[in-house]
A and B are shown apart, each in its own frame.
Chain A
C-alpha cells in the first residue's frame, strides 16, 4: 500500500476513456461498479464537452457479486450496441472488475456482436492513465489498420491527440498547417475526432507524425513495423524543435523543407532588450516527459533561463528524461509523489516553476511564480481561445504564458532600489497578481522558515541575516543558497556580512 493524496495520473481505464471520448463511432463498455461514472465529468466539466462520453458502465453492485455480474456485462454490452450502433466497440474492466475476473473480452466475443469488438487488458494495479491511452490506441490500430496503397500525393497521419489532452485540440490545427505549408495533407488524425472506419485507412499515408509519445508511441511503432510507415521523433514544441521537425519531415518525405515564420514572434521578443532581465532566471521543470523535454530546450535556448532541475511523473519516459537531465547538468526527478516534487522545489529555490496543476499549487504555497506546461490541468487550461503549444503560434503562446507570471524587469529594479518601501515589502506580492496587498509585517516578527538544505551546519550571523532580508523575496532563496554553498565550499561555518557580499561577487552574472 502507498498513501497518496494527489495522483498525477488516473487509473488506466481513464486513459481508455480518453481515447474513446476523442473518437466518434466507437463505444466503450466498461465493467465497473457504481460510482466509476465520476470519470464522465472530467470530460463534460474540465474539457466542457457537449456530449456524454461514449461509454456504458455495467454498474454492478454488492448484491450482483457472484455469477450475476457476467450477465450484467452481457446485457450492458448488448444494450449499448442496440442503442448506439457503433462502428466498433472496446470492452474492458476497471480496477474492481479486474478483481472479480469476469473476462469482458471473452464474453463479448461469445456474444457475436455485428461489429469489431476489441478487448482491452489494462492492469489497474500496475499501470496508469497514459499507459491506458497508449495501449487502447495501439489495440485499436492493431485490430483495424491494414496495409494498403499509399495516397497519390504525400500524406501523414497525426497520432496521439486524445480527449483531456493538454492543448491537443489546437496543436492539431497548428501541425496540420505546418504540414500543409510543405504540401503534405493529413490522412487521418487519431484518436482525436477519428472513427473506427478512419483507422482502417491509416495505412494509406506515407508516414506518421507522433505528436505525443505518451499516448501514441505503441501505435506508431506497430505501424512502422507492419505498415512500413516511418514516424517523426521530434515533437515540434518551441522554435528550434519546430525547425528540426520540419527538417525531419523533409528528410522522411523528400519534400523541400519550408516553414512560414512570418508570424513567429518568440525570437524577436526574446532578443528584445525588454527580455534581458530573463537571462539566467532559475527555472524548475516538471510534468509529462514530452512536455518537460520540449520546455527544457525552450527555457534554456530560446528564453535564456537556467534550468536548475527537471523531472517527470510518468515512468515510461524516465530513460529519456534522465539522459536529458544529464545534458543540462542537473539531476532528474522521476516520481509520482507530489511531496517529493515539493521538497525538490524547496531545496532548489527556483525563481520560476514550469509544471502541472500540482506545481501551480506548490508555487502558490512557496510564493514562486509558475506557468503550466503539462497535464494534469484544470478547466482554465482548456481555454476558449486558440492556444497551441506546438509550431509557430505555439512558440508565441509559450513566450507570453511563461513571462506573464514573472515580476517585470522594471518592477524588479524598483523593488530592489526601494526595498524598504512600505508598499514593496515581502508580503505585498507582485503588483499584477491581483492579490489584495497585505500590510507590511511588523519588524522583529517570527523568523521566516529556513529552507531545508544540506548546509545546516552553517550559521548566519545577525548582520548577514538582516542584510539577507533586505534582498527582495523572489531572489532571496537563491542568495541564501548561493551564499551557503560558497561558504561550505570554503569550509566556513559562519556567514558574516562580508561572506554574503563575497558570495554575491562570486556568483555575479
Chain B
C-alpha cells in the first residue's frame, strides 16, 4: 500500500502521562445523546425518567427540534413518586401505555435513566423487562442510563448502543459490523467504499429501523466509527465478536488508516484498496489544504466534551499543521483511542476529567490560537480575546470519512477566518 502521509511520530502519546483532575466538570450529561439518536433510529422513542431539570436540558439542547414531532419525552417525577405514595412501576407502566397508545409507529422504546431515577434506585431494567412482555411483539422496551452521575455527553450513545447488544439475534455469518450513529449521507459513503473493496456483508449499529437484519456472533468483526463507544465494545466482545482497532476516520489519513484496518481484516487485495481509495484520498487532501491554510502553525487547546478530542487533535496536528497545547477528554479509553494516541506526536498535555477553573487558568496562560470548548465557555472566552470553536458542532455535523475531511478542517478555520474578516474598531 502506498503511503504518502506525514511520517509517523518518533514517539506517540500512548504512554504519555495523563493529568487527572477532579472538580467542576463543565460538560453535558448522557441524556443529550437522545438529540441525535432519535433522528437516527426512526421507530424508537426515548422516554427519560427524571426531573424537570432533565426535560429542561433536552428542550434547551434540542431547540427547535422539539416541535418537529420529536420521539423523546420526560416522565417527570413528582412529590408523590418520591414519597413512595405512588408505586413508581405502576406509574411508569401507565405513562408508557398512554404513550404507546398514541404513537403506534413506535417499535423500540428506551427507558432512559437520569440522576434522580438512579439516586432513588428506580429499577428501570426490571420495568423494561416487564413492559417488553406487555407490549411484545410490537414494541421492544430497553433501558440504559444517561445520567450525569454516570455518563458524559456522547457516552449516552454508548450506553444506548450497549443496551441493544445483548438482545441482538445470533449469527455465524462472516460479517462486518460498523458501530456508531453517523449521518445517513456519511453512512452511505462508507458503505459504498467498503462495497467497492468487495466487502458487502456490512451491518450498521444502530440500524435506522428496529426490523433490520442486525445480528452478531463469533464470525462478526466490528469496527468503531466513534471513540466514545467503550461500553459497546465490551458488550460486543461478550457476544464473541472481534474488535478491529484503528484510528478514527477523520481526515484523509484517519479514513485511510480506518479503511486499511478493515481491508486487512477481510483480506482485501492491496491494489484494489489503492484503486478504490486513490481518487477520494486526493480529493480529501485537496479540500483539507484549502480549508486549513488558516490553521497552519496555529495552536489549539481542547476542553473535554465528547472523547472526539484525541482523534481530532491527531487530525489537526498531522493534516492541518496545528500544534496541540492541551488535549482534554472526559474519559480516555486506551483500547479505543490507542491507535490515535500512537499517531499524536508527544508534547501536548493529555488530561482526563476536569477542574474547569484550573483548566481555564492553564488555557489563559497558554493563550492558544484556537480553543475547542462547550457553549458555556465559548462566549466568555471570546470576550477575553480567545478564538473558540464550540465543540457540540463536531457531534452535530457530518465530519467522518473522505468527503467531509474538508468540511471538518473548515469547522476549525471558520472562527479564525471570521476574526480576520471583522473590522469592528475605528480606522486608525
Contact = CB atoms under 8 A, between A and B. Distances in A.
B59 A50 contact: no
Contact of A1 (B53, B64, B95): B95
Most chain A CB neighbours (cut-off 10 Å) among B79, B115, B120: B115
Contacts of A10: 52-53, 56
Interface residues of B, number: 64
Contacts of A378: 63
B215 interface: no
Given A11-B53, A96-B51, A33 B148 contact: yes
A48 interface: yes
Interface in A49-65: 49-52, 56-62, 64-65
B119 A99 contact: yes
Interface in B222-260: none
A7 B59 contact: yes
A70 B182 CA distance: 41
Interface in B32-57: 32, 47, 49, 51-53, 55-57
A41 B76 CA distance: 22
Nearest to A51: B380
Interface string B145-156: 001111010000
Contacts of B357: 79, 83
Nearest to A10: B56
A125 interface: yes
A52 B360 CA distance: 12
A62 to B, nearest CB: 4
B73 A35 contact: no
B16 interface: no
A36 B52 contact: no
Contact of A40 (B29, B120, B376): B376
A42 B53 CA distance: 13
A56 B119 contact: no
A2 interface: yes
B24 A125 contact: no
Nearest to A99: B119
B61 interface: yes
A494 interface: no
Interface in B58-86: 59-61, 63-64, 66-67, 70, 72-79, 81-82, 86
Given A10-B56, A41-B374, A61-B150, A4 B74 contact: yes
Given A36-B53, A44-B379, A60-B149, A3 B75 contact: yes
A10 B32 CA distance: 16
B270 interface: no
A268 interface: no
> Which applies to chain A's interface (DSSP): helix, strand, loop or mixed?
mixed
A34 B29 contact: yes
Contacts of A64: 149
B23 A79 contact: yes
Contacts of B328: none
Contacts of A364: 67
Interface residues of A, number: 54
Contact of A126 (B27, B47, B79): B79
Contacts of A61: 148-150
B119 A100 contact: yes
A48 B382 CA distance: 11
A340 to B, nearest CB: 15
A1 B52 contact: no
A128 interface: yes
Nearest to B49: A1
A378 to B, nearest CB: 8
A35 B116 CA distance: 13
Contact of B26 (A37, A60, A128): A37
Interface in B99-136: 99, 115-116, 118-120
B27 A34 contact: yes
A96 B116 contact: yes
B73 A96 contact: no
30 contacts: A1-B88, A1-B91, A1-B92, A3-B47, A4-B76, A5-B59, A5-B70, A6-B59, A7-B52, A7-B56, A10-B53, A35-B28, A36-B29, A41-B60, A42-B60, A44-B379, A45-B375, A50-B383, A51-B383, A59-B24, A61-B150, A62-B150, A95-B115, A96-B53, A99-B82, A124-B52, A125-B82, A126-B79, A128-B52, A378-B63
Given A11-B53, A13-B53, A100-B119, 6 more contacts: A3-B99, A35-B27, A38-B57, A40-B26, A56-B24, A124-B51
Interface of B: 23-32, 47, 49, 51-53, 55-57, 59-61, 63-64, 66-67, 70, 72-79, 81-82, 86, 88, 91-92, 94-95, 98-99, 115-116, 118-120, 147-150, 152, 357, 374-380, 382-383
